[in-house]
Amino acid sequence: MPVTSDVTRAADGDGDLPINELFYSLQGEGGLAGVPSVFVRTSGCNLRCWFCDSYHTSWDPTHAWMDVDDIVEAVAGYDRADHVVVTGGEPLLHDAVVDLLHELDDRGYHTTVETNGTIHRDAPIDLASVSPKLANSTPTAERDPAGEGEWAERHERDRIDINTLSRLVADYDHQLKFVVTDEADVRDVEDLLVRLRDRARVPIHDDDVLLMPEGATRERLAETRDRVAELALAHGYRYTPRLHVDLWNDAPET
Ligand SMILES: C[S@@+](CC[C@H](N)C(=O)[O-])C[C@H]1O[C@@H](n2cnc3c(N)ncnc32)[C@H](O)[C@@H]1O
Ligand SMILES: Nc1nc2[nH]cc(C(=O)O)c2c(=O)[nH]1
Ligand code: SF4
Ligand SMILES: [Mg+2]
């Protein structure tokens, strides 16, 4: 169901969220991969990964405004699902996401928040699925999908905030899900883990560190996944597939 074609009015209240899509699918990534889930995808991001698989929430944000009650009603319409994944874009940018998470929690849903880890919110989050952005994500002029590297400096400045990451891992059940293509990326992961373990007040288990192959399409994943699986084995981290890409390639609402 393309929400964007259902709701066309502009924002008219504090409880409104910019929604890019809302759909029912299998969780494709991370420790809950395979679980039927409703996805609520907000629009707008404070970063610009060159590889972003949700281009229309970051580089070219598009959305319809929905209030929290309408979102909860749309979620409830998928009566087989008791898991909700709130993603984006960067969902924690928006104040009203906290209200949405409370409403979902009150109704007994398990909530996963997919976040880049640069913003902390106090909210009922059952799983903080944190994907800190490595140096490999920066939109240099050569890799910029929309311009000539205008976002590179801001992206590079903002992509890692150790204090925010340490609060997220301390406050929530978490997984750290890194987009990886090669060995240099894993060195970047290890450097970050040293800094985070030094700062965080809680242990960070290797079991909660996941390597995810970079690839928004089946073709690209076929190039990256074998090497990333080998890196996971070599370093003792978990590998996460991208089930939805295997199953449905880059189709919207999957
Ligand atoms: C689109 S992001 C939205 C949530 C949040 N902004 C973030 O980056 O975590 C959802 C997930 O997709 C991952 N992702 C985005 N583009 C990807 C790509 N081309 N290959 C692999 N993972 C990708 C992100 O790292 C994140 O784990
Ligand atoms: N099926 C499916 N699983 C996902 N897990 C995280 C996603 C995301 O975009 O945050 C995602 C997504 O876009 N689709
Ligand atoms: S942080 Fe997430 S939504 Fe933002 S550009 Fe990167 S992958 Fe896309
Ligand atoms: Mg996705």
Residue 62 domain flag: yes
Which residues, 6+ apart, have CB-to-CB distance to 52 below 8 Å? 45, 58, 59, 145
Range scoring the smallest mean pLDDT among 3-12, 60-69, 152-161, 238-247 = 3-12
Residue 219 domain flag: no
ipTM of the assembly?
0.99
pLDDT at 15: 74
Give the pLDDT band of residue 41 (cuts 50, 70, 90): very high
pLDDT at 7: 44
Determine the Cα–Cα distance for residues 112 and 27; give it in Å rounded to an integer: 10
Residue 88 domain flag: yes
Hey, whose CA ends up nearest to atom 11 of ligand 2?
A: 28
Residue 212 domain flag: no
Mutate to test the pocket of ligand 1, among 42, 48, 50, 52 (most ligand atoms within 8 A of CB): 52
pLDDT at 46 exceeding the cut of 80 = yes
Average pLDDT over the chain, rounded to an integer: 95
Backbone angle region of 23, left / alpha / beta, with phi > 0 → left and psi within -120 to 50 → alpha: beta
Q: What is the DSSP code (8-state) at residue 66?
A: E
Residue 208, annotated as binding a ligand: no
What are the structure tokens assigned to 52, written together?
Answer: 């972003």
Which ligand is closest to the CA of 131, given by its number?
Answer: 1
- Residue span of the structural domain in which 88 resides: 3-179+241-248
Based on C-alpha coordinates, what's the Rg of the chain? 17
Residue 103 domain flag: yes
pLDDT at 14: 67
pLDDT tens per residue across span 213-239? 999 999 999 999 999 999 999 999 999
Residue 152 domain flag: yes
Ligand 1, residue 51: give the atom nearest the CA. Answer: 19
pLDDT at 8: 44
Count of CA atoms in the C-beta half-sphere (13 A) of 65: 10
The neighbour count for residue 21, using CB atoms within 10 Å, is 23
pLDDT at 6: 44
Rounded to two decimals, what is the model's pTM? 0.96
Determine the Cα–Cα distance for residues 42 and 2; give it in Å rounded to an integer: 13
pLDDT at 1 exceeding the cut of 80 = no
Count of the separate structural domains present in the chain: 1
pLDDT at 12: 53
pLDDT tens per residue across span 121-173? 999 999 999 999 999 999 999 999 999 999 999 999 999 999 999 999 999 99
Ligand 2 centroid to residue 253 C-alpha, Å: 9
pLDDT at 13: 64
pLDDT at 210: 98
Residue 224 in contact with ligand 3 by CB distance below 6 A = no
Q: What angle do CA 68, 73, 78 make, to 5 degrees?
A: 130
Determine the Cα–Cα distance for residues 254 and 23; give it in Å rounded to an integer: 7
Determine the Cα–Cα distance for residues 143 and 154; give it in Å rounded to an integer: 15
pLDDT at 18 exceeding the cut of 70 = yes
Hey, whose CA ends up nearest to atom 7 of ligand 3?
A: 52
pLDDT at 5: 45
Backbone angle region of 28, left / alpha / beta, with phi > 0 → left and psi within -120 to 50 → alpha: alpha
Residue 145 domain flag: yes
**CATH code of the domain in which 7 resides:** 3.20.20
Residue 186 domain flag: no
pLDDT at 196 exceeding the cut of 80 = yes
Mutate to test the pocket of ligand 1, among 131, 158, 223 (most ligand atoms within 8 A of CB): 131
